Amino acid sequence: MTEAKVAIVTGASRGIGLGIAQAWGSRGDRVWITGRNAEPRAAAAAELGPDTMHIAGKAHDAEHQAEVIKSVLETFGRIDYLVNNVGTNPVFGPTLDLDIDLVRKILDINVISHFAWTQQVYRAWMAEHGGAIVNVSSVAALYPSPGLGVYGMSKAALSYLTAELAVELGPKVRVNPVAPAVVKTKFAEALWLGREDDVAAAYPAGRLGVPEDIGEAVSFLLSDKASWITGQTLVIDGGVTLVGRSG
């Protein structure tokens, strides 16, 4: 019997992160999820089943990262996969109107934390044993997105970082980004709530994304079936970037 693999998924209490954890857990493998808030995180872990562990903390906090990695290795003895899903976008509006400290916060959570998680997991396990990493970017990284300027900038930086790491960490570790368009989550409510049909009309697929769409794609990229794919941005957008733009 093949030994179960282990994945860490950050920001997995709900939305895309939970969808990713569900897709991976359904394969019979083990998942360790993180999240700031105890109640939704515990509810997510209960929904995911007995092979799921969880721990509280801010994803961009170095001590939290180290605690999670130590706990995963002590509990499961391995870290095969890392999904950097956590992200923030607390504002919508003109880029130059943003407070500089808020800009730093967005970059810290959306880029620096992903770098830090990757660095710690690589040093703790993957440098010797190999593995695969997926970073959750966005179609906002692909072109200017008025109202989402710094968010898009952070995701563009993340996509570049992912490609760079794919070159530097290969062949032992594969690193890929996924770039979703609008997915029906609480995080993206401002982009679709109350006008879903109008927004979805721009999508050739005829609907907005759901967390399961992203979860299945990430599960594929982590798996051995994607063993010859690294450094490639997988756009998951229902075709909207073929005909227009949607962040």
The per-residue pLDDT for range 142-192, each reduced to its tens digit, is: 999 889 999 999 999 999 999 999 999 999 999 999 999 999 988 877 777
CB atoms within 10 A of CB 139: 22
Q: Using the structure block, give the residue that is written with the tokens 């990713």.
A: 20
How many contiguous H segments (helices) and E segments (strands) does the chain have? Answer: 10, 7
Domain total in the chain: 1
Q: What is the pLDDT of residues 53-81, one digit of tens each?
A: 888 788 889 999 999 999 999 999 999 99
Return the biggest CA–CA distance within the chain. Answer: 57
Please indicate, yes or no, if residue 26 is contained in any of the structural domains: yes
- % pLDDT > 90, the chain: 73
Give the integer Cα–Cα distance in Å for 124 and 22: 25
Mean predicted confidence (pLDDT) in 199-215: 94
Q: Which residues constitute the domain of residue 239?
A: 6-243
Please indicate, yes or no, if residue 161 is contained in any of the structural domains: yes
Mean predicted confidence (pLDDT) in 209-229: 96
pLDDT at 40 over 80: no
Please indicate, yes or no, if residue 203 is contained in any of the structural domains: yes
Write out the DSSP string of 117-186: HHHHHIIIIIHHH-EEEEEE--GGGSS--TT-HHHHHHHHHHHHHHHHHHHHHTTTEEEEEEEE--BSSS
Please indicate, yes or no, if residue 1 is contained in any of the structural domains: no
pLDDT at 125 over 80: yes
Report whether 162 contacts 175 (CB < 8 A).
yes
Please indicate, yes or no, if residue 16 is contained in any of the structural domains: yes
- For residue 2, the model assigns a pLDDT of 64
Q: What does pLDDT average to over the chain?
A: 91
- For residue 192, the model assigns a pLDDT of 79
Q: Domain containing 130 — which CATH number? A: 3.40.50.720
Please indicate, yes or no, if residue 18 is contained in any of the structural domains: yes
Please indicate, yes or no, if residue 153 is contained in any of the structural domains: yes
Q: What is the pLDDT of residues 100-119, one digit of tens each?
A: 999 999 999 999 999 999 99
pLDDT category at 49 given cuts 50, 70, 90 is confident
What's this model's pTM, rounded to 2 decimal places? 0.93
pLDDT at 247 over 60: no
Per annotation, catalytic residue among 81, 122, 151, 203 = 151
Please indicate, yes or no, if residue 79 is contained in any of the structural domains: yes
Catalytic site residue 151? Answer: yes
- For residue 29, the model assigns a pLDDT of 86
Report whether 138 contacts 247 (CB < 8 A).
yes
pLDDT category at 16 given cuts 50, 70, 90 is very high
